[in-house]
Amino acid sequence: MTASAQTTSAQPKPTRVYYFGTCVIDLFYPGAGLAGMELLRRHGIKVVFPPDQSCCGQPARNSGFFDEARAVALRQMQAFPGTDPIVVPSGSCAGMMKTHYPQLFEGRPEHAQAIAFSRRVHELTAFLVNVLEVTLEDKGQPVSVTWHGSCHSMREMGVVDEPKALLRQLSNVTLVENPREKECCGFGGTFAVRQPEVSAAMVKDKIEALESTQTAKVVSGDCGCLMNITGAMEKAGSKMSGQHIAEFLLERTHD
């Protein structure tokens, strides 16, 4: 099921949003998490990070442990009361909350709550482009980058063009398309350890495709993919680096 990335622009722009950091960002890429909040703040939004949040529950749900996923999902819903939008710097976590929370609670007393919650969820770049309609001014040196869109961002959240639209706004950034862009990087959460050989083959092909662009850096909206891709790049001695789009945008647009 794909959730449209478009939010009806008939609504007035929000002045206050919640921010869901995601557990991968929490432990491994807090800078990216902060950058996302900072970007929103500098566009005049009050950003609130509820301290009770932890994880969207995707690892348990995808492993088929629905009760455990529900327990954690319920706590997230409780941590984000009210009606303010919830912005998420990850297409896969946003997808989990938007498409799978209602599914997880189908036939249960929390179903209505889950539906209402899911309607508030926005992936970060889609929020910046479609809701805030930001304009970005590039203050950085010329650089060429390539974009990696995560599978869940593209296929569950329908976020395909928004991140590239943001990158294209930056006048000194050359965005180079990479071949087989829509093919999975091989992370897949626990897939990377359950099917290590297949995962390794997939990430190897992915870094080859990214390196063929001869750019300095791969930018992505998903830190799970980034951990996979940059980890493989590092092990292979690649010259390419990787960065979350929030961090990249913040660096480019602020002194």
Partner 1 sequence: MTELPKGDFTLRAPAALNDPTLRANFRRAMDGLMTKRAAQFTDKEAWTALRERGAAAKARVVARLPELLEQLEANCTANGIQVHWAETTAQANDIVLTILQRHNVRTVIKGKSMVSEEMELNHHLQAHGIQAVESDLGEYIIQLAGEAPSHIVMPCIHKNKAEIAALFEENIEGLGYTEDVDALTAAARAEMRKAFAAADAGISGVNFAVAETGTLVLVENEGNGRLSTTLPPVHIAVMGIEKLAEKLKDLPSLLSLLPRSATGQHITTYVNMITHPRRDGELDGPHEVHLLLLDSGRSRVHADPELRDTLRCIRCGACMNHCPVYSRVGGHTYKFVYPGPIGKILSPQLEGLDCAGDQPHASTLCNACVEVCPVKIPIADILVRLRSEASHPSDSPAVKGAGSRANWRESWGWKGWATVYSIPWLYALAGFMATRFGNLMPASLGPLKAWTSVRAKPRFAAKTLHELAKEKGYCDE
Binding to partner 1, residues 232-251 (CB under 8 A)? 232, 234-235
Q: Nearer Cβ to partner 1, position 22 or 173?
A: 22
Share in percent of the chain as helix, strand, coil (round to 5) = 50, 10, 40
Choosing from 3, 5, 45, 74, the residue that interacts with partner 1 (CB under 8 A) is 74
Stretch that binds partner 1, among 113-121, 126-134, 163-171, 183-191 (CB under 8 A): 183-191
Q: Which two tokens stand for residue 180?
A: 């087989």
Among 50, 138, 169, 217, binds partner 1 (CB under 8 A): 50
Interface with partner 1 (CB under 8 A), residue from 5, 45, 60, 246? 60
Which residue from 7, 43, 47, 217 is in contact with partner 1, where contact means CB under 8 A? 47
The site string for partner 1 over 139-178 (x = CB under 8 A, - otherwise) reads ------------xx--xx----------------------
Site for partner 1 in 105-144 (CB under 8 A): none
The answer to whether the beta carbons of residues 21 and 49 sit under 8 Å apart is yes
What type of residue is 195? Q
Query: Residue 85 carries which DSSP code?
Result: -
Calpha distance 145→213 (Å, rounded) = 8
Token digits of residue 211: 């390196």
Nearest to 5 by CA among 116, 91, 65: 91
Q: Which of 51, 107, 109, 142 binds partner 1 (CB under 8 A)?
A: 51
Q: Does 64 bind partner 1 (CB under 8 A)?
A: yes
Smallest distance, partner 1 to C-beta of residue 177, A: 16
Taking the CA atoms of the chain, what radius of gyration do you get in angstroms?
18
Residues 6 or more apart whose CB falls under 8 angstroms from that of 64 comprise none
